[in-house]
Chains A and B, each alone.
Chain A
Amino acid sequence: MRRTALSALWSHWRRHPFQLLTLILGLALATALWSGVQAINAEARASYAAASEAVGGTRPVLVREGGDIPQETYIALRRAGWQVTPIVEGWLTSEAGRVRLVGIDPLTAPPDIAAAGTVLEGEIGDFFTPPGQLIASETTAERLAEMDLPPVITAEGIAPSLAFADIGIAQGLLGMEGQITRLIVLDTQPLTTPPLSDIAPKLTRRDSGGQADLARLTDSFHLNLTAFGLLSFAVGLFIVHGAIALAFEQRRPVFRTLRALGLPARDLTLLLITELLAFALVAGALGVALGYLIAAALLPDVAATLRGLYGAPVEGALAFRPAWWAAGFAIAVAGTAAASAGALWKIARLPVLAPARPRAWAMASQATLWAQLAAAGALGALSLAAILFGSGLVAGFVMLGALLLAAALLLPAVLSGALALASRGAKGVLAQWFWADTRQQLPGLSLALMALLLALAANIGVGTMVSSFRLTFTGWLDQRLASELYVTAETNEEAERMVAFLEPLADAILPIWNVEAEILGAPAEIFGVADHATYRDHWPLLSALPGVWDSVAAGEAVLVNEQLARRERLSPGDRLMLPGGALTVGAVYSDYGNPLAQVLVGVDELVRRFPEVERLGYGLRLAPDRLDAVRTALVDDFGLPPDKMIDQQAIKAFSMQVFDRTFTVTGALNVLTLAVAGFAILTSLLTLAAMRLPQLAPAWALGLTRGRLARLELMRALMLAALTMVLAVPVGLVLAWVLLAVINVEAFGWRLPMHLFPRDWAVLGVLALLAAGLASLWPAVKLARVPPSQLLKVFSNER
C-alpha cells in the first residue's frame, strides 16, 4: 500500500519536473549562501588559530611597553632561572605583500612551536648559521621568493603569511640585532626564581601572547558575514515555502483519493515527510557544493580584506572542513522543515471527504492581514526596545532582524491599502477588475514580495553604509595625510643625518614616532606629534577642549582616537592613565580603519616617557612641485632606498584600495540576495499562473485577448515590484542608520555620518523592476500562448 502511495505521490513530480527543480534549486541556493559564508568564516578562524599556535599559543609572555626587549635582559632572566624563550617578530615587505617573520631559538623554544619540529628535521647548523633558512608554507614561500632572502624551506602546517627563522637570522633580516620582541614563559619553571621586578623591572607579564586579539577584532567582521548568510537563507526559504505549498495544493486530490482508498493519515504524513527529507538531503548536497564554490570565489577578497584591515593572516585558499558540510545539511533539513511545517499540519488533519476543489490559495483574508499587522507591531516594538535598552553587537543585530521582519510582515497590509486606494480611483471596468484582481492575488505573491523587500532593503542599507563610509573616509584621508612625503630611516643615527640633510629642503619635518603600549589593559599605540600648523589645521577632531594643541605641545594633554574614547567612555576633560602617568584628554579624533586604540601626545612628552623610542619616521611638508626634487635628492645625494619613502598619493591610493576590497564581498552578497529574490518572484508567479486560469478564463470569455491578459499580468508584476521598492527605501535607510550608528560603533568603534545616494536607489529600482519583469515574463508568455481549449475547459470541467 505504502509503495503504491509513494509512487502515486512521486508521479506528481514526474509530471511537474520544473516544480521539482524549483524546490531543489531554492533549497540548494539558500543552503549554498549560508554554508558558503560559514566556510569563509571557518577558514579565517582556522587561520587565526594556526597563527596563534605558531607563536606560543596561550602561554604567558613578557613584553616591554614601548619597545623591544634588550637581549641582555633575556640572558639575565635565563641566568636567574626564568625559563623563557625569545621571539623576535617583524614584517618582511615586498611588492608581493607582507609576510610576518618570527625568529625563534629552537633550543629553548617549546616543542610545539610550529616551526621547531620542522627546523629540527632539517640541518640545525644550516638553520643557525648565516645565511640561515626561512621556513614557511608553500604559498608564503612563493611570496618570499620575490624578495632577497635566505633559502626558504617549505613545510606543511605553517600558518599563512608566516615565516620562521632562527632568532639570530631574523634579527639580522629585521634590523633588530640584540633586540627581542617578547619572551614566552614556558610551562615548566624551576623551584625558585627571583621576582620579575628584581631582574627585569621594565618587563610586564601578559597572560596571552597569541593572536586572541585578532579573533576579537575580526569577530564583528565575521558576524556581519554571518548575518548576511542568514538573510540570504531566509530569502531562499521563501522560495522553498512557495514550492512546497504549491505542490501540496496541487496534490490535494491525490491525497484525498489515497485517504479514501484507506491510507491512514499518519502514513500519508510520514510518506510526505520522507519525501521532503530526501529532497532536503539532495538539495543540501547540492547547496554545500555550491557553497564551496561561492566561498572559494569570495575567499581571496575576504582574505585580502582581513589582511588589509586587521593584518590578520588568512590565505586565499579554501580547505575542506567536514564541520560545515554537516552544518550545511543540517540547515537544509531545518529549512525544509520550517518551510513545510504548515502544509504538513494541514495534510495531517485533512478530512477524508474534503472537497477536491483546491481552496483558493488566496482568499484575501482580513484576519490574516490583521495578524500580520499585529506581529509587525510586536517586532517593531522589539526592535525599538533593542535599540533603546540593549547594548552591544548582538542587540544591534536583534534590532536589525526584528526591523526587517516587521517591515516584511507590514508589506502585505501596506500593499493592500495602496491597492484599495488605487481601485477607488479606478475608472472603467477593466481598471477596476485589474486592481481588484491584484488585491486578490496579493496573499499568494506576498511571500515573494517580502523576499524582494528584504533584498532591496538590505541593498539600500548596505549600499548607503558603504557609500557613506567611502565618502567620509576619503575626506578624512585628505585631512589626515597632510604631509606630502613620508620617509623612514633605518637607524636613529641615520635618522639624525637625514633630518639634517632635509632641513634646508623641506618646509617642515614632522616626526612620526610611536610606541606600542598597553592602555587600560588593552593594546594601544602612542604617537608623538610635533607642535606644528599641519596638525592644528588638518587633524580631524570630533570634539576638543579650547587651546588643545597648546596643551598637547606643553605635555599636559593627549588626543585619543574615537575607538578608545568610545570604549572607555572618555570625553575631553577626562583623565587618562598612561604608562608614565595620567594626562588630560584634550580632544577626540576620528581614526577610521584602525582596530587599535591610539593616543597622541606631544613629541617631547613621548621622548620623556619612552626615552628609547625609535626615531625613524618623518612626514615632510613640501611645496607639491618640489616633491620630485626632494625625492631625487634623498635617493641620489643622501642614499635613502626608494622603498623607505612614500608620498601622500600612494598612501591614499593604497588605503582606498584596501577599503574597496573590504566591501567587494558585501557587494557580491548583495547581488546574490537580489537574484534569489527574483527567483522567488518567478516561482510564486508560476504557482499562481496555474491556479489563476479559472479566474482569468471569465475575463477572456468576456473579450480580453490572451495577449492583453498577458500584458496586464506583466504590468501587475512590475507595479507590485515598484510599490515594494518604494517601501524598501525607508526600510533600507533605517537599516543603514542602524549599521552606521549602532553596528559600526559596536564593531569598529567609530560612528559615521550618513549620506543619501538617491541615484543608487534609482539604479536599484530599475534592477528590481528588471528582476520582476524577467520573472513574470515567462508566466506571461505562457499565458499568451495558452490554448483556448484549456481556457474553455474551465467552464466545462468540474471546476
Chain B
Amino acid sequence: MSDKGLKRLSLWTMRKGQRRSAGVRDSAAPGGRVGAARPIGRAGTLLRWTVFLLVACVSTANSQGFAGLGTTVSDDFAVPQRNTPFTFPEDHGPHPAYRIEWWYVTATLTGADGRDYGIQWTLFRSALRPETGPGWEDPQVWMGHAGLTTPDAHFVAERFARGGVGQAGVTAEPFNAYIDEWRMEGPSLSDVQLTAQGSDFAYDLQLSTDKPFVPQGDEGYSVKSGGGQASYYYSQPFYEVTGTLTLPSGPVEVTGNAWLDREWSSQPLSDTQTGWDWFSLVFDSGERLMGFRLRDTAGPDYTAATWITPEGDPTPFPDGAFAAEPLGETAVAGRNVPTRWRVQLPERDLDVTVEALYPSSWMETAFPYWEGPVSFTGSHTGRGYLEMTGYE
C-alpha cells in the first residue's frame, strides 16, 4: 500500500471511532491488500501499540520483506539508530522528525479509603510529515488518553489536537506536556504535576523522584522484532505519587507509584505481529520489571524484558527470556481478553500470577485497547500495569 493509503487509513481510524469498533477494515484503502482481512487493531503494532500512523506502514514493510524494512520507511522520517545515547532534558521534548512518539504514564495508587486505584495519562504525537510548520499548517497531530480504574469501574477520556496553534505540545525544560487542560508540568520531568479529566472523573497528582531515567533495550535502542524494527525507549519507573482522584462518589486522596515511558520511532512492525501484551511490574522489594510479548502469527512470539534494580540499574533480556501465558479471559466490549496471566523470567527466578484489578478496563477510545492496574503473587508480590492490544 502506498503511503497515502497509510495516512488515510490511520487518521481515519484515529478520528472515527464508530468505524473502528466493528474491527475497522481497511475500507479506506483502495485495493485493500493491506489488511484486507485484518482488523486494524492487529494490523501491526509498534511497541506498546499502534496508534495512528504506523498502522498501515506494516503493509509497506510486508511488501518489501523483512530485510529491507529500515529502508522502506518513506517520507524521509528519521530512523532509530543503535548507540545513540540520550541527552536530557532535550530528549524529554518532542522529536518531530520521527513518525510517532509518546509520553506514557501509568500509576498504581492506594486511596485513603483503603481501596486500590490506577490511572493512565498518555500524550501521543503523530507526524504527517517529518517537520513542523507554522499555525494550522503544522503536520504534527496530537492525541491524549486518560484512564482511571477502580476495583469496580473504569473511566476513559480522549482528546485530539493539531500542533502549531498551541492546543497541545511538549516543551522539555521547564517540562510541560499538554493537550487542552490536561497537563504533565513541572520544573523538570522528575517533578511534575499530572492532571486530566473526563466528563465523569478527574485526577490531579504530584509525581516526583530523585532516581535516574532508565534506558530500555540496548542503551535505549529497543528492538521489537526478529526483523530488527526498533524504537528509542526510556522509562522513569520510580515516581512517588500523592494527589486526589475525583470520582462520581466524590474526591479520594491517594498515594502510590507511577511509571513513565518515553518512546519514539518511525518504523513499522512486522505484518504478522498481531498484537501486544505489555507488563510493568513493581515488586514490593523495590525492583521493577518491564516485559512485553509481541504475538506473531507466522512464528514464535517475540519477547523482551528489562530488570531494574531499586537503584535504577537496568538489565535487558533478549527474545525468549521472558514468558507470559494467559490463564483466564474476560469478555469485554464484545471480545475475550486475557486478564489473568502467568509471567515468568526464569533467569531471575520469577514465576508469578498476574491478575487485573478490574478485568473490564477497556479503553473505549477511537482506537480501543485494554489497559489497567494489576497485582501479582507467586515467587514475588507487587502491583503493576498491563496493556493489551490486538484482541478482536
**Same complex origin of A and B:** yes
User: Which A residues have a C-beta under 8 Å from some C-beta of B?
Assistant: 71-72, 75, 78-81, 83, 105-108, 111, 116-117, 120-125, 128-130, 166-169, 171, 177-178, 188-193
State the CA gap A98–B300 with chains docked (Å).
62
Does B246 reach chain A (CB closer than 8 Å)? yes
* Given A190-B198, A192-B197, also A125-B139 (CB < 8 A): yes
CB distance from B219 to the nearest CB of A (A): 34
Please state if B129 and A79 are interface contacts (CB–CB under 8 Å): no
* Given A80-B181, A190-B197, A191-B201, also A120-B128 (CB < 8 A): no
Please state if A121 and B15 are interface contacts (CB–CB under 8 Å): no
B interface size (C-beta, 8 A): 34
State the CA gap A193–B181 with chains docked (Å).
9
Q: Which of B187-238 contact A (CB under 8 A)?
A: 197-202
Q: Which chain B residue shows the least CB distance to A121?
A: B28
Residue in contact with A107 in the complex, picked from B28, B162, B166, B200, CB distance below 8 Å: B162
State the CA gap A129–B134 with chains docked (Å).
11
CB distance from A107 to the nearest CB of B (A): 4
* Given A108-B161, A117-B16, A129-B128, also A79-B137 (CB < 8 A): no
Interfacial chain B residues near A117, Cβ < 8 Å: 16
* Given A117-B16, A191-B246, also A124-B7 (CB < 8 A): yes
Residue in contact with B137 in the complex, picked from A83, A122, A129, A191, CB distance below 8 Å: A129
Please state if B16 and A79 are interface contacts (CB–CB under 8 Å): no
Please state if B15 and A191 are interface contacts (CB–CB under 8 Å): no
Residue in contact with B200 in the complex, picked from A75, A108, A191, A193, CB distance below 8 Å: A191
Interfacial chain B residues near A106, Cβ < 8 Å: 15
Please state if A81 and B197 are interface contacts (CB–CB under 8 Å): yes
Interfacial chain A residues near B129, Cβ < 8 Å: 125, 129
Interfacial chain B residues near A79, Cβ < 8 Å: 166-167, 178, 180-181
Interfacial chain B residues near A171, Cβ < 8 Å: 136
22 pairs of residues in contact across A and B, judged by CB atoms under 8 Å:
A71-B165, A75-B165, A75-B167, A79-B181, A105-B136, A106-B15, A107-B141, A111-B18, A120-B15, A121-B28, A122-B8, A123-B7, A124-B8, A125-B7, A128-B137, A129-B129, A190-B198, A190-B199, A191-B199, A191-B202, A191-B246, A192-B202
Residue in contact with A129 in the complex, picked from B4, B8, B133, B197, CB distance below 8 Å: B133
Does B135 reach chain A (CB closer than 8 Å)? yes
State the CA gap A71–B18 with chains docked (Å).
30
Q: Which of B106-163 contact A (CB under 8 A)?
A: 128-129, 133, 135-137, 139, 141, 157, 160-162
Known: A168-B136, A190-B199, A191-B198. 6 other contacts (CB 8 A): A78-B181, A81-B181, A105-B136, A107-B141, A117-B16, A128-B137
Does B36 reach chain A (CB closer than 8 Å)? no
Interfacial chain A residues near B137, Cβ < 8 Å: 128-130, 168
Does B86 reach chain A (CB closer than 8 Å)? no
Does B11 reach chain A (CB closer than 8 Å)? yes
CB distance from A115 to the nearest CB of B (A): 12
CB distance from B337 to the nearest CB of A (A): 26
State the CA gap A167–B136 with chains docked (Å).
8
Interfacial chain A residues near B104, Cβ < 8 Å: none
Does B12 reach chain A (CB closer than 8 Å)? yes
Q: Which chain B residue shows the least CB distance to A76?
A: B166
Q: Which chain A residue shows the least CB distance to B16?
A: A120
Please state if A190 and B157 are interface contacts (CB–CB under 8 Å): yes
State the CA gap A293–B44 with chains docked (Å).
57
State the CA gap A125–B9 with chains docked (Å).
12
Q: Which chain B residue shows the least CB distance to A178?
A: B135
Interfacial chain A residues near B160, Cβ < 8 Å: 107-108
State the CA gap A106–B198 with chains docked (Å).
20
State the CA gap A188–B7 with chains docked (Å).
28
Interfacial chain B residues near A125, Cβ < 8 Å: 7, 11, 128-129, 139
* Given A81-B181, A107-B141, also A120-B136 (CB < 8 A): no
CB distance from A286 to the nearest CB of B (A): 45
State the CA gap A121–B29 with chains docked (Å).
10
State the CA gap A108–B160 with chains docked (Å).
6
CB distance from A330 to the nearest CB of B (A): 39
Residue in contact with B11 in the complex, picked from A75, A111, A124, A166, CB distance below 8 Å: A124
CB distance from A472 to the nearest CB of B (A): 48
Please state if B139 and A78 are interface contacts (CB–CB under 8 Å): no
State the CA gap A12–B193 with chains docked (Å).
94
CB distance from A177 to the nearest CB of B (A): 8
Please state if A189 and B181 are interface contacts (CB–CB under 8 Å): no
* Given A79-B181, A123-B7, A125-B7, also A166-B136 (CB < 8 A): yes
CB distance from B121 to the nearest CB of A (A): 14
Q: Which of B1-44 contact A (CB under 8 A)?
A: 4, 7-8, 11-12, 15-16, 18, 28
Q: Which chain B residue shows the least CB distance to A117?
A: B16
State the CA gap A80–B183 with chains docked (Å).
11
CB distance from B40 to the nearest CB of A (A): 14
CB distance from B158 to the nearest CB of A (A): 11
State the CA gap A193–B16 with chains docked (Å).
26
Please state if B7 and A128 are interface contacts (CB–CB under 8 Å): no
* Given A71-B165, A129-B133, also A189-B180 (CB < 8 A): no
CB distance from A765 to the nearest CB of B (A): 66
Please state if A128 and B12 are interface contacts (CB–CB under 8 Å): no
CB distance from A230 to the nearest CB of B (A): 45
CB distance from B234 to the nearest CB of A (A): 28
State the CA gap A307–B239 with chains docked (Å).
63
State the CA gap A177–B30 with chains docked (Å).
36
CB distance from B3 to the nearest CB of A (A): 10
State the CA gap A254–B157 with chains docked (Å).
81
State the CA gap A590–B213 with chains docked (Å).
75
Q: Which chain A residue shows the least CB distance to B128?
A: A125
Residue in contact with B139 in the complex, picked from A122, A128, A193, CB distance below 8 Å: A128
Interfacial chain A residues near B201, Cβ < 8 Å: 191
State the CA gap A130–B135 with chains docked (Å).
12
CB distance from A119 to the nearest CB of B (A): 9
State the CA gap A121–B13 with chains docked (Å).
10
Interfacial chain A residues near B166, Cβ < 8 Å: 72, 75, 79
CB distance from A630 to the nearest CB of B (A): 38
Interfacial chain A residues near B128, Cβ < 8 Å: 124-125, 128-129
State the CA gap A431–B157 with chains docked (Å).
95
Closest 10 CB pairs of A and B: A168-B136, A81-B181, A107-B160, A124-B11, A125-B128, A190-B197, A75-B166, A191-B202, A191-B197, A78-B180
Interfacial chain A residues near B11, Cβ < 8 Å: 120, 124-125
CB distance from B120 to the nearest CB of A (A): 16
Please state if B180 and A120 are interface contacts (CB–CB under 8 Å): no
Q: Which of B136, B141, B201 has the most CB of A within 10 A?
A: B136
* Given A80-B181, A121-B28, also A107-B15 (CB < 8 A): yes
Interfacial chain B residues near A129, Cβ < 8 Å: 128-129, 133, 137, 139
Interfacial chain B residues near A193, Cβ < 8 Å: 181
Q: Which of B4, B8, B181, B202 has the most CB of A within 10 A?
A: B181
CB distance from A112 to the nearest CB of B (A): 11
State the CA gap A72–B18 with chains docked (Å).
31
Q: Which chain B residue shows the least CB distance to A111?
A: B16
Interfacial chain B residues near A121, Cβ < 8 Å: 8, 12, 28
State the CA gap A107–B143 with chains docked (Å).
9
CB distance from B226 to the nearest CB of A (A): 32
State the CA gap A111–B166 with chains docked (Å).
23
Q: Which chain A residue shows the least CB distance to B199?
A: A188
State the CA gap A539–B15 with chains docked (Å).
54
State the CA gap A161–B153 with chains docked (Å).
48
State the CA gap A192–B200 with chains docked (Å).
9
Interfacial chain B residues near A124, Cβ < 8 Å: 7-8, 11-12, 128
* Given A120-B12, A121-B28, also A189-B202 (CB < 8 A): no
State the CA gap A124–B7 with chains docked (Å).
7
Q: Which chain A residue shows the least CB distance to B167?
A: A78
CB distance from B57 to the nearest CB of A (A): 15
State the CA gap A123–B129 with chains docked (Å).
13
Interfacial chain B residues near A81, Cβ < 8 Å: 180-181, 197
Interfacial chain B residues near A72, Cβ < 8 Å: 166
Q: Which chain B residue shows the least CB distance to A127?
A: B11
